[in-house]
Amino acid sequence: MLTVSKVEAAVDTFLEKAHIGLPVAMDEFWSGILQEHGTGAEEFQELYQLGVNLGKLYRAMHSSLGLANAVLSQFESPRLRTAAVWLLQGRIPTEGKVLDLGCGSGVLLCLLASCYPNARFTGLDKCKEAIQIARERVAGLGLRNIDFQVGNVARGFGNTVGGDYDLVLSVLLFHEVLVEPQMSEAARMRYYHFLPTGPIDPCFSVGELDESIVRKLTRNAALTSVVKVLRPNGTFLSIDRWPTIRELLKWIRLTETHELHVLLAESDHIVFESRGSDDQLMTERLRATVFRKVPAQRPTALDILRFRGPQMSEQACQEGSYEGDIAELLYSALPRQVGFAYQAEYSDGSGIERCEIGLSGDFGYLYRTTSCEYRSLVLSPCSIFSRQAQSIQEMFRGHFDSCTVTFRGCDPSVLQQLRIPLKETFGPRTQ
């Protein structure tokens, strides 16, 4: 296997040959494409600024090979480079068949095909303009082990591209394929990922969230086709955003219903820097999830949270205060003695909050979780945990004044160890 530095050099050499460059300042980008690509660039700029129709924007981008390359260079080259380097580290079969779903104008697939001349590559995309550009690209690069076809992945493609693939690959595709069909174009633009748009079950832990998701899953034509075209020991590899634990859980559980089994040990995070429309650099993180048809041990919801969670633990946590995924991970790992717990249901119907104060070894903790999936954890030594008493008192009394409060547990001996006076903190109503 090549070293990472040699893989990076090979990727950079190919991208230069394919005329994929690096992002520039947005003013420079717009002036450059308008000067070089005329009417096609004008249409692309107008649609980009309106931001209302991704389909038209995608087609306009592929009005010519030169414009497609310019747009890819500006908006996609950091992702393309990072994903290619990751894939070329032993994740592509040196022989056999590879299918790329949502291949666009084929830059990534052409790069892979150039590195593995003994393998056969097929790209599929619903945009005929993108496929035409991909075929022009192949001709210009002189590749003979690759072909492209027009096909709608979302509607199923099992009878379109043949079968017996060793690898089915998708990059930034399924968050669009799985979006609810009843959503309008405007709703897709506002909320591109496939969260439910209607009422959701209140979930106070990742386990409850997992159970809620599993109850509502339905079959999907695209994933059914993935299973159909894969060899029995083939691999499905998806690179996508899944920015929240809800989306990642739903993605993994949905694949399970199609008898595709995730291998978290082989899955990974792909991290790169990209330039936003305001010219500011931002760090992006994609989830690369690996699946096989061969049965494997089903990961728990906490396993999936841990897989998603490493980047969260790098955040600076002020004074033992944690939020989001890391809060739930830490809470789940704590040996806990509950001192006081209650549930507050807001009278305006906006949600439910559960609060728990307790003891974990030499530490006291305050854990808050809501039906809207907010999590927070305060963790500090017992010797100073009593400093939390005033904020706990204010929180509880605020809840009592504006919510329907239900007590869920009380152990005065634990509160005594935490130096939290029961009556003074929670009032006579707890007696």
In the chain, where the domains are located: 89-190+200-311, 320-430
- Tell me how many degrees the CA angle 269-273-274 measures, rounded to the nearest 5: 120
User: How is domain 89-190+200-311 classified at the CATH fold level?
Assistant: Rossmann fold (3.40.50)
Question: Which range, of 136-150, 176-190, 242-256, averages the lowest pLDDT?
Answer: 176-190
- Per-residue model confidence (pLDDT) at position 287: 95
pLDDT class of 190 with cuts at 50, 70, 90: very low
Name 238's bridge partners. Answer: 170, 289
Higher pLDDT, 243 or 132: 132
Residue 186 has pLDDT above 90, yes or no: no
pLDDT class of 253 with cuts at 50, 70, 90: very high
Residues 6+ apart with CB under 8 A from 212: 200, 201, 203
Per DSSP, which regions of 300-370 are E strands?
321-323, 337-346, 352-360, 363-370
Residue 315 has pLDDT above 50, yes or no: no
pLDDT class of 420 with cuts at 50, 70, 90: confident
Instruction: Identify the CA nearest to 44 among candidates 19, 62, 66, 24.
Output: 62
- Predicted confidence (pLDDT) per residue in 273-296, tens digit: 887 777 788 889 999 999 999 888
- Per-residue model confidence (pLDDT) at position 261: 97
Q: Looking at residues 25-41, what average pLDDT do you find?
A: 95
Half-sphere exposure of 74 (CA within 13 A, CB side): 21
- Per-residue model confidence (pLDDT) at position 116: 96
- Predicted confidence (pLDDT) per residue in 71-112, tens digit: 999 999 999 999 999 999 999 999 999 999 999 999 999 999
Q: Tokens for 418?
A: 């935490």
- Predicted confidence (pLDDT) per residue in 111-129, tens digit: 999 999 999 999 999 999 9
- Per-residue model confidence (pLDDT) at position 108: 98
Mean pLDDT of the chain: 88
Higher pLDDT, 386 or 83: 83
Question: Which range, of 42-46, 229-233, 391-395, averages the lowest pLDDT?
Answer: 391-395
